[in-house]
Amino acid sequence: MDTILVRGNGPLNGEIPIAGAKNACLTLMPATLLTEEPLTLTNAPRLSDIRTMTELLGSLGAEVASLQDGQVLAMSSHDLTSHTADYEIVRKMRASNLVLGPLLARFGEAVVSLPGGCAIGARPMDLHIEGLMALGAEIDLQDGYLHARAPRGLKGAVYEMRFASVGATENIVMAATLAKGTTVLKNAAREPEIVDLVRCLRAMGAQIDGEGGSTITIQGVDRLHGATHRVVTDRIELGTYMLAPAICGGEVTCLGGRIELVQSFCEKLDEAGISVTETPRGLTVSRKNGGVRAVNVTTEPFPGFPTDLQAQMMALLCTAEGVSDLEETIFENRFMHAPELTRMGARIEVHGGHARVTGVERLKGAPVMATDLRASVSLILAGLAAEGETLISRVYHLDRGYEKVVRKLRGVGADIERIKEPTAHD
């Protein structure tokens, strides 16, 4: 199993290119199922999750060609051979359930496995199901699979979600593009990835209004056509790399970044004493006069502070002056990185969905273990500012959401390397 070795070596300076958004691309790829014509995505990130979605679409009979070193995905669903998303693929990635709405809308049937360990009443899939049933779908759960049918096609409806779920919003919007009549989705999620999906669907001929707000209106059409669409910048990768000079000092420009993607995050950085300047090329980040100040953070749905930047922000606050309180309101068990940061000398107390971080003068390198995608990169950030060596294990999580992380950080002066696991014949 690969590890990543980080040696703290002072300020970082230079430029980091920010990739296309993983969460946007994983939503855009299933949109190919809505049309028999080609859909091409540019600025695609090169990640293991993208390969998993490629595998899933291929299992349905879709064609997905990876071009230009993986940054262009040319897709076609003109001749699907299956409407079943198998558990062996779906279990690898929750976003796999986004094939449900498109398959149901275009073909009137879909069989999609629930993600591993998912119970409808306890996980967000209940909102997907309720929304699609409001459009006229019949959905049953059998042996861990959702069996969905709409033999007479989907019909527009007014549906208000109990919670602004991103995935449910995406599934319902895609399904409604081919429904008969008008669908009004209330309490919709507002994330930039949803705005990006709507822009792509509109380029394919969909009639949609209201994206970026809490009410989205979709006028169903008979068919969608092909299109070429550029994937929006990854706001989570953007925020992650913005924290590198905040933690280490120096000045880094994140190419392609825009403040509108990370507005609430930028406000917290400003409060902590970090300068963010928008230029035509991206966002330039550096410390203001002095060190980092403690701030309180509460995660919220967009446009609030992103849950996917909470772990990285905690790494910054470990050496901030004062005491910071972090509240996680989106996901449970999202402080699993805290014990690993504590191994590096951080002072963190966790009580349920709250964490209190008392800043220390300096972190110290230690062997640590990544527990999930965002935790893994938070440990890298902490290691960049720590004294000595930090060895991070289980970094396969990292490959799901960050492409070429070692190369990008080396490019701004970080002392970081990936240590490959020896093969049996080495």
Maximum Cα–Cα distance for the chain, whole Å? 66
Judge if 3-19+233-419 and 22-230 fold alike in CATH terms: yes
- 245-254 pLDDT, tens per residue? 999 999 999 9
pLDDT given at position 334: 83
Beta 227-230 vs 250-255: how paired, if at all? unpaired
Give the tens place of pLDDT for each residue, 148-180.
999 899 999 999 999 999 999 999 999 999 999
* Amino acid 79: pLDDT: 92
CA distance 166 to 133: 18
pLDDT of the residue at 57 = 98
CATH of domain 3-19+233-419: 3.65.10.10
CATH number of the structural domain 22-230? 3.65.10.10
* Nearest-angstrom CA–CA distance, 351 and 346: 16
Q: Does 330 count as an annotated binding residue?
A: yes
23 labelled ligand-binding: yes
The span from the CA of 37 to the CA of 127, in Å, is 30
Q: Which residue, 389, 321, 390, is CA-closest to 361?
A: 321
Give me the catalytic one of 25, 118, 200, 266: 118
Binding site annotation covers 127? yes
The DSSP symbol for 396 reads G
Angle at 145 between CA 50 and CA 332, to 5 degrees: 65
pLDDT at 117: 38
Contacts of 333 (CB under 8 A, 6+ apart): none
| Known catalytic membership, residue 118 | yes
| pLDDT value of position 124 | 59
Percent of the chain that is helix, strand, coil (3-state, to 5): 35, 30, 40
Question: Which residues of the chain, if any, have pLDDT below 50?
Answer: 117-122, 424-426
Residue 263 to residues 52, 214, 249, 303: CA-CA distances in angstroms?
Answer: 31, 18, 21, 8
Q: Is 420 annotated as a binding residue?
A: no
**Which residues lie below 8 Å from residue 385, measured CB to CB, with a gap of 6+?**
8, 247, 248, 319, 362, 363
Residue whose structure tokens are 């910071």: 324
Q: Flag whether the pTM goes above 0.85.
A: yes
- CA quadruple 100, 182, 31, 24: dihedral positive or negative? negative
| 308 labeled binding residue | yes
Per-domain boundaries in the chain: 3-19+233-419, 22-230
